[in-house]
Chains A and B, each alone.
Chain A
Amino acid sequence: TNSTIRVSVCKNGISNGTLYKKTFIEHFEQAPMYVAVLTFLGFGVGTIFGYLRDFMRAWGLEKRNVATEREQQKDFVPLYQDFENFYTRNLYMRIRDNWNRPICSVPGPQFDLMERVTDDYNWTFRFTGRTIKNVINMGSYNYLGFAETDVNALKTVTIELQKYGTGICSTRQEMGTLDKHVELEELVARFLGVEDAMVFGMGFATNSMNIPALVGKGCLILSDELNHTSLVLGARLSGATIRIFKHNNMQSLEKLLRDAIIYGQPRSHRAWRKIIILVEGIYSMEGSIVHLPEIVSLKKKYKAYLYLDEAHSIGAVGATGRGVVEYFGMSPDDVDVLMGTFTKSFGAAGGYIAGKKDLVDFLRTHSHSAVYATSMCPPVAEQIIRAMKCLMGQDGTTQGLQRVRQLGKNTRYFRRRLHEMGFIIYGNDDSPVVPLLLYMPGKIGAFARRMLEKNIGVVVVGFPATPITESRARFCVSAAHTREMLDTVSTADVLLKLTSDAKEVGRSCVSVTLNLSNSSLHLFF
């Protein structure tokens, strides 16, 4: 195919010698032009039909399925503007059955889905009562396979649950610090190789409640374009000035740093109090890994602080699962604030922040979560403790290391297979998050539904989580997947023939039109 490939191969960093100890290859292929044109065409057709349907609904020609306001409150100011919900009503509703699929088993490498059907084109769902068994799970963030129900593995968790119960009913600073939390924090600090750590009950809340404690007015936040909502919310709540640099683009970051220090705050030209750089270890929608060595050298040169969010990368990359810091062979002292979550690789819930003792002491006293939010519940803390001990090898087996290695093997195998088949995959070769580009809006629904028919559960994402032309299916490789499962998934992709083939593109464009006009046609005939 005549596509332009933009591959960034970074072997040498800035000025002094090799910053990268191994080859760092990331692919961001651009699709051919006709794909972009047809994608816009697909959205255009959808929008026109959307206006048509709205018109028919307003004139009573079509049934209104949406819940409406109370009679007594009809003269209040409307709660939702019509235009805000246009996308939800008309485009999202048609393919809504691909999200929020309920499951009824452990989210391991295979799971059981509850079968749902809709009688009225996705406005309401009905459970038939049957379950679809043993669907291959390519959607859950189960990187190291710790989401398991093996009785031996969960023995300590069962004991702690019996001893402690499920709740805490208090905040960290009042009566909510249990000995389990102290144990967990020491373990996390030892695992990461830092002085001290603090754990919180929810990963999203870790970011949104601690960034405002660290920075305030008069500080500058430099955040990557594709940062997660929790980082964006934390940055906005802090009141500091936010400037965005292009994704993984070090020149853009350096220019922003220089301008910030030289010109100071926007109108008064006072010096900034602090500059903090917010990045993620692995970006969940792109699958790319942060260029850590370059960022660290920039940060040292310009005296900024670095906040690294390792939600997806802790446990998943690195020779022993210590995250991107180990992956690049760097020391954890280079990063000022190490943040991560336990939801993804450890099969539990919650988040942590680790770093120097001063930092963690400050957070113990000034974090919003320590004063106003409940602490982590004990059985969940025990699950993290046992998973971490397994990873560190402290439980006497090498199971932890095996899991990390298996994940690495699975990742590379899966990516290689998909690449050989000619799909456009984004991201770094070593990241277990594999986005497969679909582009067309019609393909989003078709891909997810047909994969489910073949007993494979995938996650598809479109606008607004991704740019409008770049809808994708995202696979999450797990250490618990066997080679046969990965083969099944990749051959299913090939059988669906979603490569950039002109015939298929034409066919899928027609299927978009038919799909979207389906219910309108059925009105007329």
Chain B
Amino acid sequence: IIRLLFSKTYKLQERSDLTPKEKEELIEEWQPEPLVPPVPKDHPALNYNVVSGPPTHIIIVNGKECINFASFNFLGLLDNEKVKSAAQASLKKYGVGTCGPRGFYGTFDVHLELEERLAKFMRTEEAIIYSYGFATIASAIPAYSKRGDIVFVDEAACFAIQKGLQASRSNIKLFKHNDMADLERLLKEQETEDQKNPRKARVTRRFIVVEGLYMNTGDVCPLPELIKLKYKYKVRIFLEESLSFGVLGEHGRGITEHFGINIDDIDLISANMENSLASIGGFCCGRSFIIDHQRLSGQGYCFSASLPPLLAAAAIEALNIMEDNPDIFQTLRAKCERIHELLQGISGLKVVGESFSPALHLQLEESCGSRENDVKLLKRVVDYCMNSGIALTQARYLEKEEKCLPPPSIRVVVTVEQTEQELDKAASLLKEAAQSVLN
């Protein structure tokens, strides 16, 4: 025993046993990767389309005049004179920028007015405005859902939702697209977990995040079933209505009006104003209990400059137009159904999306093996159409970052301004292009 007490103990070899000379050598030898990997010159995204002039109904892309089937200008408000004059008036009064975040003299009376108008239009208690559409949902989700909370999200959710979820550090559970049975299975599993640990279950918040009209697949979420699941399993619903705001429903109020659901049943509706309202920015609306929290903890709201007042004034005027002419929604729906019918039966391409969705995808019926080749084929179809006067674009994704990458497709966007002849022309051109390229 005495021998053990007095014998030398073995210290764990510490790495700081390196001599200074060895450290200098390590520092000399280390070579970092280059800051950015080299990008091949013919990467499809490098040679993008440059639009000269405004991206309205007739668009000049790369010098050619085409009919615009690629910008999300659903209600045709990009070109509207009333909207432009409202923006001009605001420019004269307020200048361009706001020079500050909302908390530090960046709140203008137009912002407050826009928030009130949006809340009244959507028939909720309160609304909050963000200055960028992407940042809206990406700041709203982390404001409520923190580490340890559980979020059930659809597979086809858009990238902004994915980034919001990543920033929130919650447990994410993906369910198959629009598959309520899968969602119910996940909820049941969660319930059994809860019974094992009731104390923890009492403080973990649960959310379901879905989109009204999915950008990646063009279909709607089954909202009535979701509401039933909400009350059965006690989860809150966050609805992202970027594409369905101003499109679905009798008065354009979105998917809640489309299905006839009480808006108070949805905890938070988030949308961006960049599609139907032809402005920039986004908003969230809901009950004051929920929205007020974002005024202090929404990162894109507190730490970023507010929306330029001319864009807010343009959005207010666009809302006025939407309220005064509720029949444009019917017109838009009729056009969507027409093009959906016309595009059926193109050999080699299949239409993905509901018949009343204004943003459709055209995917290859049979893939030719690799994604790159598919993309090249579709590019040839798009080029053929562009050369003949119809501006189309491929749907772009970040291949390595998406959780569930959709297959390559051509995006077809329907707007109120397109006439029936133009719709027919587009459909026949696409048929021709598919014939010549794919056969």
A: which residues have CB within 8 A of B? 67-70, 72-73, 75-81, 88, 92, 99-108, 111, 114, 137, 139-142, 146-149, 151, 154, 157-158, 161-179, 182, 201-205, 208-209, 214, 228-230, 233, 236-237, 258, 261-263, 271-275, 302-305, 336-337, 341-344, 346-349, 358-359, 361-366, 368-374, 377-380, 383, 457, 459
Most buried by A among B55, B106, B277, B391: B55
Residues in B with CB closer than 8 Å to A374 are 132-134, 274, 280
A-B contact count (CB 8 A): 341
Contacts of A168 in B (CB 8 A): 55, 71, 274, 280
**B179 on interface, CB distance cutoff 8 Å:** no
Q: CB-defined interface of B153-197 with A at 8 Å, one 1/0 digit per residue?
A: 000001110010011000000000000000000000000000000
Instruction: State which of B287-295, B319-327, B334-342, B427-435 sits at the interface with chain A.
Output: B287-295
Chain A residue with Cβ nearest B202: A77
**Additional 8 contacts, C-beta under 8 A, given A175-B55, A380-B97, A457-B105:** A103-B105, A149-B92, A166-B279, A176-B71, A178-B54, A361-B39, A368-B401, A369-B134
Kindly state whether residue B252 has any CB partner on chain A within 8 Å: no
**Are the C-beta atoms of B49 and A274 separated by less than 8 Å?**
no
Decide if B100 touches A70 in the complex (CB within 8 Å): no
A468 CA / B364 CA spacing, docked (Å): 60
- Please indicate the chain B residues that have their CB under 8 angstroms from the CB of A114 in the complex: 109
Which of B55, B102, B163, B305 contacts A343, CB < 8 Å?
A: B305
Instruction: Evaluate contact between A274 and B50: CB separation under 8 angstroms.
Output: no
B419 within 8 A of A: no
Question: Residues of A contacting B99 with CB < 8 Å?
Answer: 107, 140-142, 147, 343-344, 347
* Interface status of B27 (Cβ within 8 A of chain A): yes
Instruction: Tell me the B residues contacting A by CB distance below 8 Å.
Output: 15, 18, 23, 26-27, 30-33, 35-39, 43, 45-46, 48-56, 59, 61, 68, 70-73, 77-80, 83-84, 87-88, 91-100, 102-109, 111-112, 131-135, 138, 144, 158-160, 163, 166-167, 201-206, 231, 234-236, 264, 274-275, 277-280, 287-290, 292-293, 295-296, 299-300, 303-305, 307-308, 310-311, 314, 391, 393-398, 401, 411
Establish whether residues A178 and B163, one from each chain, have CB atoms under 8 Å apart when the complex forms. Answer: no
- Name the distance in Å between A515's Cβ and chain B's nearest Cβ: 21
A69-B289 contact, Cβ under 8 Å, with A149-B95, A157-B96, A383-B96: yes
CB distance from A107 to the nearest CB of B (A): 5
B49, B84, B134: the one contacting A162 at CB < 8 Å is: B84
CB-CB < 8 A to B56: which residues of A? Answer: 165
Closest to B108 in A: A103
Check if A303 sits within 8 Å of B30, measured CB to CB. Answer: yes
Contacts of B68 in A (CB 8 A): 175
Contact B46 A365 (CB under 8 A): yes
Residues of A within 8 A of B49 (CB): 175, 177
Alpha-carbon gap, A418 to B174, bound state (A): 57
Given contacts A77-B202, A105-B94, A161-B88, is CB(A459)–CB(B287) below 8 Å? no
- Residues of A with C-beta under 8 A to B106: 107, 140
CB distance from A15 to the nearest CB of B (A): 15
**Which chain B residues border A101 with CB–CB below 8 Å?**
105, 107
CB of A170 within 8 A of CB of B204, answer no
Q: How far is the CA of A79 from the CA of B268 in the complex (A)?
A: 12
Q: How far is the CB of B15 from chain A (nearest CB, A)?
A: 6
Q: Are A373 and B30 in contact (CB under 8 A)?
A: no
Q: Which residues of A contact B73 (CB under 8 A)?
A: 167, 169
Which B residues lie within 8 Å of A81 (CB)? Answer: 203
CB pair B396 A174 closer than 8 Å: yes
**Contacting pair A229 B108 (CB below 8 A):** no
Interchain residue pairs A-B with the least CB separation, the first 10: A167-B278, A204-B304, A202-B132, A362-B36, A373-B134, A67-B289, A140-B99, A175-B70, A169-B71, A383-B96
From known contacts A167-B274, A230-B303, infer whether A364 and B105 are also in contact, taking CB-CB under 8 Å: no
If A76-B236, A230-B303 touch, whether A179 touches B52 (CB-CB below 8 Å) is: yes
Residues of chain B within 8 A of A379, CB atoms compared: 87, 91, 96, 310
B132 touches A359 (CB 8 A): no
Residues of chain B lying within 8 A (CB to CB) of residue A142: 99
Given contact pairs A76-B236, A77-B205, A140-B104, A166 touches B159 in the complex (Cβ within 8 A): no
Option from B50, B166, B304, B401 in Cβ contact (under 8 Å) with A177: B50
16 pairs, CB–CB < 8 Å, chain A vs chain B: A100-B103, A103-B107, A107-B94, A140-B98, A157-B96, A162-B84, A166-B78, A166-B87, A167-B279, A169-B274, A178-B54, A233-B299, A262-B18, A303-B32, A343-B99, A349-B308
Residues of A contacting B109 with CB < 8 Å?
Answer: 102-104, 114
In the bound complex, CA of A101 to CA of B59 (Å): 42
Q: Quick one: given A67-B288, A149-B92, A174-B393, are A169 and B236 in contact (CB under 8 Å)? A: no
Contacts of B314 in A (CB 8 A): 166-167
Residues of A within 8 A of B97 (CB): 146-147, 342-343, 346-349, 380, 383
